[in-house]
Amino acid sequence: MPAFSCAFPGCRRDLLVIVLVVFVGIGLHIEASAPAYQSHGTEGSHLTNITNTKKAFPVLAVNYEHVRKPFEIALWILLALLMKLGFHLIPRLSAVVPESCLLIVVGLLVGGLIKVIGEEPPVLDSQLFFLCLLPPIILDAGYFLPIRPFTENVGTILVFAVIGTLWNAFFMGGLLYALCQIESVGLSGVDLLACLLFGSIVSAVDPVAVLAVFEEIHINELVHILVFGESLLNDAVTVVLYNLFEEFSKVGTVTVLDVFLGVVCFFVVSLGGVLVGAIYGFLAAFTSRFTSHTRVIEPLFVFLYSYMAYLSSEMFHLSGIMALIACGVVMRPYVEANISHKSYTTIKYFLKMWSSVSETLIFIFLGVSTVAGPHAWNWTFVITTVILCLVSRVLGVIGLTFIINKFRIVKLTKKDQFIVAYGGLRGAIAFSLGYLLSNSHQMRNLFLTAIITVIFFTVFVQGMTIRPLVELLAVKKKKESKPSINEEIHTEFLDHLLTGVEGVCGHYGHYHWKEKLNRFNKTYVKRWLIAGENFKEPELIAFYRKMELKQAIMMVESGQLPSVLPSTISMQNIQPRAIPRVSKKREEEIRRILRANLQNNKQKMRSRSYSRHTLFDADEEDNVSEVRLRKTKIEMERRMSHYLTVPANRESPRPGVRRVRFESDNQVFSADSFPTVHFEQPSPPSTPDAVSLEEEVPKRPRLKADIEGPRGNASDNRQGELDYQRLARCLSDPGPNKDKEDDDPFMSC
Amino acid sequence: MGALQSLSDEPEYRELSEKTGFSFEQIGILHKRFKQLSHNEDMLRRADLDTIPDLACNPIRTQIIEAFFDKRNFHQNGDGTVEEISFEEFLVVMSHFRPPALNMTEEQREKVRREKLRFLFNMHDTDNDGTITLEEYRHVVEELLSRSGALEKETAKGIADAAMLEVASISMGHMVRLLFYNIL
């Protein structure tokens, strides 16, 4: 077995390499010989028109120029994805080396290959990068940004992003200028502004690289959001500094007025970007209110409005990244309340898909550009840059944390600081900004080389070693927890409690303003942006319904599959709780579909348009699976009893049909639409076997554990059972018995 | 007593500071607030806290106010509720919300954490019997949802049931203790 498994991925890898080479070869060969065909084609038709001689009808012709551009684009994307596929087939490699490194290496190889063939390798065009490759990644990050940790730490994040980046830029620029003044380096032509420009390009932490590396190490939420948030918010600073220094280095001198204008510019850029994003976000939310009849195009609204936000802000030289983040954050709660479940899934998967493709392409192109680009190597400059990057980052983080910790309740420990400092990776944004420098800068090539070296160093060395370091330092990891209704309840409870205590103290703190914002949101904003009557529902109920729906779906699916695993957790940045609100009619629909699935033993969820068929078939097939379901239910009940402390008086199994009624909402979760509830139809229990779980919903002051007699055969999947029995518990009224605890439960543990 | 803070309160403050861990400055500020709430009297009553406008729209205000008058939170191993509290007791209740100091040992941190959990537990356990029953939990959920307007008892019940169920499936008994440890 081990031999087989070793050989197999190896085979696949070789196959992929061969495929890759073939692809590239074909692509380039066609490219090279395309002009020849083209000229033949035009000549031929030209001649035909003039002389009218009969030519043989071309049965097969090649016209490459016609499809050239899309063909090449598609080829590159396909190459990128095949590489990604290849890596994940080799588990040993992907566990040690982060994907970004591998992709850069592939890029290097491909670039080298192209150069060997004699063609000019394509360079990462800045236009392409900023307008096509970057937005999907940022939108993905912004849309799924975990709001709570972000807003709790926004002060810290801003300090790191703004002040940290400024510190980095000036420290590096200044010291490099000092370096250039030294005669032996041979760079005395470099003036201060050019150095500062270089410093500002290379000082910003890159969101793409951070995402790529951090998503594989599963670090705790606090550090993750700090580094990630910083990488997103420092875009404003980078934009301002870059434009500022570029303008100045043309002019040559700086006055105090310019500096002042620069500061003003920073505020305009960042706040303007956020404003533009927020406006588009509200527009998107408002539009989504009316899409109940055209569900199919809902995802497009989300994508297009966000992209427009990005382009609009780029148009005004505002921070596009912040616009995109603001747009995603603002529109998400309202859009999710309005759109259908399918649209939500579409949005999620499309965003993940695009951002994944973009990221892959970026890293590959980075590798290719390294081979292609004009280089000017200067040992001292480059090595100093790399060292200074590290040093300034570490100093910046330590210094800022010292100040920040005075204002934080949850202090940042040394370990946190280390990871924040070490996780400051540079990436493709720095490269593109460097590439954007006009050729008039005589140091352009040197800068580019230095930037690429820094990027390589951070991505390879820091990216590869961060995982073992995290293990070594035993940094707290992210807890993979499933969405828990207890957490929701207690989070809300604590929020209110802390707001209340702030009120008692007379202190207008964090919670006070948050509460005010929530109330404003509820009374005014939601009314306009959420369709129908949904806006009145409190979040707790919405969350509860989402969970039930999710459990129902999981139950149905797991009923068919032997092993179900929440594989969605492995996808990056997925919020386990981010299941959308579903309108009541839709929930009805979904329940009907679930029931149909259950009965027809199919695993796919049918789309809305097919549900009419299943409705008619449903009734007939009720009885068939009924008995089977009952048996599994009984078995589950038995298992359930192990979890609960059972009182001495066990209830004897009651015969007769009892009705399962859904607890929460009588209108929506009406008995018939739920898969289990076809029991409600009067079907006489033929044998004691057919004891069902249905029961009336009594108003009992105390709850008893209902125990059915141990019956039925063991069903094959426990996971489904567990979920199912949880659901069954939700449906039927019984609950745990009143627990008599030890005298002092807290102190005894 | 006048509204001015006089240094003659020093020895009292020192004792309070040691007991609760607040700094002198913090005690001073809280004392001012206490006087403001109690209209310059020595003892604070429930009615005084009721009049705070910020608490008006808080769904769990009754529980918060009760927490201040709950003897179990006074660290004196008492039980039951009182009608009015002095400044010292006010401070003791407030001290539950202090963050742990940076230089605490792991053991001390555990102790602080447990105290906070105890406070929360007492807030849920309204009938002072040392356990949280499903009824009490349901009451909590109802309170939380009471601001929504359209409250259905079924919903609250369903949610509370599901919550208890979750805890039951995570732990086998000793529900309440683990309930809190799971989330905090």
Q: What is the pLDDT of residues A562-601, one digit of tens each?
A: 333 333 333 333 333 434 444 566 666 666 666 655 555 4
Q: What is the pLDDT of residue A311?
A: 94
d(CA A264, CA A26): 53
Q: Please tell me whether residue B45 adopts helix, strand or coil conformation.
A: strand
d(CA B106, CA B108): 5
Q: Please tell me whether residue A663 adopts helix, strand or coil conformation.
A: coil
Nearest CA-CA distance, residue A220 and chain B, Å: 15
Residue from A105, A256, A689, A208 nearest A432 by CA = A208
Q: Which of residues 485-504 of A touch B (CB under 8 A)?
A: 485-487, 489-494, 496-504
Nearest CA-CA distance, residue B175 and chain A, Å: 8
Residues of B in contact with A538 (CB under 8 A): 144-145, 147-148
| Interface residue of A412, A488, A504 to substitute, partner B, most B CBs within 10 Å | A504
| Interface residue of A493, A498, A733 to substitute, partner B, most B CBs within 10 Å | A493
For A135, residues 6+ apart whose C-beta sits below 8 A from its C-beta are A306, A307, A310, A320, A324
d(CA B64, CA B60): 6
Nearest to B176 among A484, A500, A741 (CB): A741
* Cβ–Cβ contact B5 with A under 8 A: no
| Strand (E) or helix (H) holding A330 | helix A320-338
The number of C-alpha atoms within 13 Å of B182 and in the hemisphere containing its C-beta is 25
Residues of A in contact with B118 (CB under 8 A): 746
d(CA A285, CA A281): 6
Q: Crossing angle, helix A379-404 and helix A165-181, to 10 degrees?
A: 150
Residues of A in contact with B162 (CB under 8 A): 485, 544, 547-548, 726, 729-730
Q: Six-digit token pair at A345?
A: 């899934």
Nearest to A741 among B33, B52, B131 (CB): B131
* Cβ–Cβ contact B51 with A under 8 A: no
* Cβ–Cβ contact A749 with B under 8 A: yes
Q: What is the pLDDT of residue A56?
A: 81
Phi, psi of A566 (to 5 degrees): -70, 75
**Interior CA angle at A419 toward A416 and A420, to 5°?**
85
Q: Is A26 exposed, middle or buried (0-12, 13-18, 19+ CB in 10 A)?
A: exposed
What is the Rg, in whole angstroms, of the alpha carbon atoms belonging to chain B? 19
Residues of B in contact with A741 (CB under 8 A): 130-131, 174, 176-177
Nearest to A739 among B49, B155, B175 (CB): B175
Q: Which stretches of chain A score pLDDT less than 70?
A: 1-53, 185-189, 252-253, 438-441, 480-483, 532-550, 558-749
Nearest C-alpha in A relative to B99: A409
Which parts of A218-315 fold into alpha helices (H)? 221-251, 256-288, 298-315
Chain-chain contact of B141 with A540 (C-beta, under 8 angstroms)? yes
Q: Which of residues 62-101 of B touch A (CB under 8 A)?
A: 64, 68, 94, 97, 99
Nearest CA-CA distance, residue A160 and chain B, Å: 22
Q: What is the mean pLDDT of chain A?
A: 71
For A387, residues 6+ apart whose C-beta sits below 8 A from its C-beta are none
Q: Six-digit token pair at A433?
A: 């900004």
Nearest CA-CA distance, residue B8 and chain A, Å: 24
Q: Six-digit token pair at A658?
A: 């009892």
Nearest CA-CA distance, residue B87 and chain A, Å: 13
Nearest to A741 among B58, B120, B130 (CB): B130
Residue from B98, B76, B86, B104 nearest B21 by CA = B98
Tell me if A28 sits within 8 A of A119, measured CB to CB: yes
Residue from A105, A133, A124, A120 nearest A20 by CA = A105
Q: Six-digit token pair at A614?
A: 């299943």
Residue from A374, A305, A367, A383 nearest A139 by CA = A305
Q: What is the DSSP string of A705-747?
A: ---PPS-SPPPS-HHHHHHHHHHHHHHS---PPPP---S-HHH
Chain-chain contact of A493 with B147 (C-beta, under 8 angstroms)? no
Nearest CA-CA distance, residue B151 and chain A, Å: 10
DSSP letter at B98 equals P
Q: What is the pLDDT of residue A275?
A: 94
Nearest CA-CA distance, residue A698 and chain B, Å: 11
Residue from A487, A433, A468, A163 nearest A321 by CA = A433
Tell me if A428 sits within 8 A of A206, measured CB to CB: yes
| Strand (E) or helix (H) holding B85 | strand B84-85
Residue from A268, A343, A332 nearest A305 by CA = A332
* Cβ–Cβ contact B106 with A under 8 A: no
* Cβ–Cβ contact B30 with A under 8 A: yes
d(CA A389, CA A425): 10
d(CA A397, CA A405): 12
Q: What is the DSSP string of A103-149?
A: HHHHHHHHHHHHHHHTPPPPP--HHHIIIIIHHHHHHHHHHT--HHH
Tell me if A703 sits within 8 A of A644, measured CB to CB: no
Nearest to B64 among A501, A547, A746 (CB): A501
* Cβ–Cβ contact A414 with B under 8 A: no
Chain-chain contact of B148 with A544 (C-beta, under 8 angstroms)? no
Q: What is the pLDDT of residue A395?
A: 93
d(CA A490, CA A480): 18
d(CA B49, CA B38): 8
| HEC readout, A363-389 | HHHHHHHHHHCCCCCCHHHHHHHHHHH
Nearest CA-CA distance, residue B21 and chain A, Å: 15
d(CA B4, CA A252): 60
* A588-595, long-range: CB < 8 A, 24+ apart: A588/A668, A588/A673, A590/A341, A590/A549, A591/A552, A591/A669, A591/A673, A591/A674, A591/A675, A592/A618, A592/A673, A594/A552, A594/A553, A594/A556, A594/A674, A594/A675, A595/A673, A595/A674, A595/A675, A595/A678
| Interface residue of A486, A507, A722 to substitute, partner B, most B CBs within 10 Å | A486
Residues of B in contact with A486 (CB under 8 A): 163, 166-167, 179, 182-183
Nearest to B140 among A493, A548, A745 (CB): A493
Nearest C-alpha in B relative to A483: B166
d(CA A105, CA B163): 50
Residuewise pLDDT in 10s, chain B (184 residues): 444 445 446 677 777 777 777 788 888 888 888 888 888 888 878 787 777 777 777 777 777 777 777 777 777 766 777 777 888 888 888 887 777 766 677 787 788 888 888 888 777 777 777 667 777 777 777 777 766 555 566 766 777 777 777 766 665 444 455 455 544 4
| Measured CA distances, A692 to A539, A628, A646 (Å) | 33, 11, 20
Q: Is the ipTM of this complex over 0.85?
A: no
For B98, residues 6+ apart whose C-beta sits below 8 A from its C-beta are B20, B21, B22
Nearest C-alpha in B relative to A669: B155
Q: Please tell me whether residue A288 adopts helix, strand or coil conformation.
A: helix
Whole-prediction pTM: 0.68
* Cβ–Cβ contact B60 with A under 8 A: yes
**Interior CA angle at A21 toward A15 and A23, to 5°?**
100
d(CA A113, CA B17): 73
* Cβ–Cβ contact B150 with A under 8 A: yes
SS3 content of chain B, % helix, strand, coil (to 5): 65, 5, 30
Q: What is the pLDDT of residue B102?
A: 65
